[in-house]
Amino acid sequence: MNIDIESEIIRVIDIEMKGLSLLREHIDSSVKSAVETIFNCRGKVILTGMGKSGLVAKKIASTMSSVGTPAIFMHPAEGMHGDLGIIDAEDVVIAIGKSGESSELNGVLPSIKSVGAKIIGIMGDGNSTLAKYSDVVIKIGDLEEACPLNMAPTTSSTVTMVLGDAMAVALMKMRDFDLADYALLHPGGQIGKRLTMRVSDVMLKGSNNPVINITESVKNCISEISSKLAGAVSVVDNDSKILGLVTDYDIRRHIEKEENIFSMEIKDIMNPDPVFVYEDEKAFPALRIMQEREKPITILSVLSRKNLVVGMLRMHDLVKEGL
């Protein structure tokens, strides 16, 4: 069959947008009651559903967990064979079913009710079995599916997912869930790293820290830069207090002037006023310091709060960490 693909895509989008508009018009006290029930839950939040409703339930559970409301998914069929054991009286179960008559889903509802857990039902038919077992009934209505047969859950899946997102965000705000909380739950993501990673987590330290006493020779200074592969070396006094910084650029600059660099002292070639950061500072602001200077730099000496040189921070390492 030849079809106008662009027109068909637009038709589907229009139908699903209409479904979302109908959802918006029908938001009532049942949704408020559902959110408050979840917020006041002292146990677990468990989502369940069959087929595409189950996939939507998994997504909602994942979203809730990532923004401050711990939630898990239970497959109804697995529930009928023992997984119901995870549910107790203080839990809230969010059961999703377009028709509200899925045999697998309805098969676990009596047991959930007997345990004493609260049931929030999300369905299309307010007179369904799922609705009768639910303590809170959220009706998404008899929506036109984007499927040309009006059979495959398309619009109803989108509407339910958006409803789940809205409830998760409402709970997020009720819990005052902020960026710091988000970072704790997403340590592997860029936002999490920017909020939690410290300079000490990524700096060169210990035997890898390029550092040299100001009394040493320029030859030893160059050797320290080369052996530590840092492109620079912190210059310190006998108490490990910073006096300056020598970079490979400083060395090249003097060589290009045809100066006898090996007859010079370290103090003659170092930058006596280097930019530095503290080891307990966040790593992302340190990266910004490097990038936002009029002349960007790629190396920072790292100090302890006692002003002792304890490391070297390289832009390369920060970028490699995904900051």
pLDDT in tens, 18-32: 999 999 998 999 999
Domain coordinates in residue numbering, the chain: 5-177, 196-320
Q: Looking at the domain 5-177, which fold is it?
A: Rossmann fold (3.40.50)
Q: What is the pLDDT of residue 248?
A: 86
- Give me the residue label for tokens 């045999």: 103
The reply to whether the predicted model has a pTM over 0.85 is no
Question: What is the rounded distance in angstroms from the CA atom of residue 108 to the CA atom of residue 251?
Answer: 75
Model confidence over 128-171: pLDDT tens digits?
999 999 999 999 988 999 999 999 999 999 999 999 999 999 99
Give the DSSP letter string of 165-191. HHHHHHHHHHTT--HHHHHHH-TTSHH
Instruction: Tell me the average pLDDT across 272-294.
Output: 89
Q: What is the CATH number of domain 196-320?
A: 3.10.580.10
Question: What is the rounded distance in angstroms from the CA atom of residue 255 to the CA atom of residue 162?
Answer: 65
Model confidence over 61-88: pLDDT tens digits?
999 999 999 999 999 999 999 999 999 9
∠ CA 213-215-216, rounded to 5°: 75
Q: What is the pLDDT of residue 194?
A: 78
- Tokens matching residue 247: 């970079």
Question: 192 pLDDT exceeds 80?
Answer: no
Q: What is the pLDDT of residue 141?
A: 85
